[in-house]
Structure 1
């Protein structure tokens, strides 16, 4: 008898509250979803919907939550250990703010290797820079010497250098120009296929999530109001009134040239 494979990530009845008493803000309310190994799953919503707060709890940056977060079927403690960070890494929204401005790329990439005691440090740095479409020569540049897209590639390389199985993506393209967004999305798509990665991606942009993810959840007011496939999203098959309004607003707002960019990417 073959045992079922547990989800790579599972969130059960997640609740997060900021503040106390009359000023308490119940930012995340009874959120639950599963992400299969190798799947790309998206959380969509407007600013303040709670999507990034969920991602911070998944990453271990927010330890004040109620409910359960499971990694490969095992419940995680609120305070994570080094083994968790070997398996799960996070790509942040701002590729400049997430890199130390006074450290060369080489130092940025060597640091996690030193923390986790991995061998062949310089070889690993060269390999991961090639994997993200840069090259060993970029080891000796500072963040201010890189374009926005190059900085985000370095941020992705910093995550990949530990060979994790799960990447948490917090609006990884929103700070980039549209043409560069498509390049980074295609890079993430290729890396996932090559390395068997699992993604959880947060975005306010439906087109970005539909491009990368198979399934997604739409959040409003701290709750998941609808879960659907990317194919259903593209077909306009949302059933929740808020989801339909968000979809209509997204289609109406996105310029035709931008729609073409993602359609061709």
Structure 2
């Protein structure tokens, strides 16, 4: 297949509720991600960006439109082969880790589900890959800092060797000083492992740091697509996007 179509979302529409209370939260959204690329969805809370991510992850199967992944159309229901290649990292690393499970157990579970061998070696390797180490195997989430918990959450997603990572505001629950460390880790992992990323965030600086292109969302629609350079330079065509960019530009560092 052409790597220009590794991820291809066309006309995605998502509604919640029934009858007179049914409302559209995502409206006719389309975007593509090349293999090894990173694409961002930016917008204020409630614009529908995380809803799209959950639909692609298989957490919400009630959507219309087409989702093609690696040349194949993905149905609303997913099997184990899909989940072995597509993993998600959630916003809150404490809520996404079982509080009474050791790190070793958190990382062992997906390996067993997907039939991997050499479990202990894989755990040690992935802990090193996320900047921790084997000594973290026997800790509980409450014994870790926020940044360490998010590194474990990333390790859990990585350990079954996916090709597509869905990143739901992966740094927004962290201190500013830790955010940069996690973003640089994600950037390094993508380069080393040839991963493809879809990231959602309300933070333009985060998206501009990780993604080559981004869709600006409002009220469930993508208003326009921009490159990371466009974002940094404030080049926008839609009025809403210009206002959104102007409010955030001071936080976006120039690319070195």
Query: 1:246 matched to which residue of 2?
Result: 244
Matches within 5 A, 1:45-64: 45-64=43-62
Identify which range, 4-13 or 118-127, moves more after superposition: 4-13
Query: 2:87 matched to which residue of 1?
Result: 89
| Aligned equivalent of 1:23, options 9, 21, 24 | 21
Query: 2:65 matched to which residue of 1?
Result: 67
Q: In 2, Cα distance between the equivalents of 1:132 and 1:8? A: 25
| Aligned equivalent of 2:122, options 124, 129, 136 | 124
Q: In 2, Cα distance between the equivalents of 1:66 and 1:161? A: 31
Query: 1:185 matched to which residue of 2?
Result: 183
| Aligned equivalent of 1:135, options 117, 133, 136 | 133
- When the two chains are superposed, the root-mean-square deviation of aligned CA atoms in Å is 1.4
Q: In 1, Cα distance between the equivalents of 2:242 and 2:46? A: 18
Q: In 1, Cα distance between the equivalents of 2:123 and 2:36? A: 24
Say if 1:6 and 1:73, in contact at 8 Å, map to a contact too.
no
TM-score by length of 2: 0.97
Structure 1 pair 241–264 and aligned structure 2 pair: CA distance change class (3 A) = closer
| Aligned equivalent of 1:160, options 158, 183, 199 | 158
How many residues end up aligned between the 2 structures?
Answer: 256
Say if 1:57 and 1:65, in contact at 8 Å, map to a contact too.
yes
Query: 1:151 matched to which residue of 2?
Result: 149
Q: In 2, Cα distance between the equivalents of 1:188 and 1:91? A: 11
Structure 1 segments, 4+ long, off by >2 Å, are 3-6, 262-265
C-alpha distance after superposition, 1:46-92 (max 9, x if no partner): 00100000000110100000111111121001111000011100000
Q: In 1, Cα distance between the equivalents of 2:249 and 2:32? A: 28
Q: In 2, Cα distance between the equivalents of 1:28 and 1:233? A: 23
1:250: how far off?
1.6
Say if 2:234 and 2:249, in contact at 8 Å, map to a contact too.
no
Q: In 1, Cα distance between the equivalents of 2:69 and 2:32? A: 10
TM-score by length of 1: 0.94
C-alpha distance after superposition, 1:106-130 (max 9, x if no partner): 0000000110110000000000000
Query: 2:78 matched to which residue of 1?
Result: 80
Stretches of structure 2 that go unaligned for 5 or more consecutive residues are: none
Say if 2:169 and 2:200, in contact at 8 Å, map to a contact too.
yes
Say if 1:6 and 1:72, in contact at 8 Å, map to a contact too.
no
Q: In 2, Cα distance between the equivalents of 1:103 and 1:15? A: 37
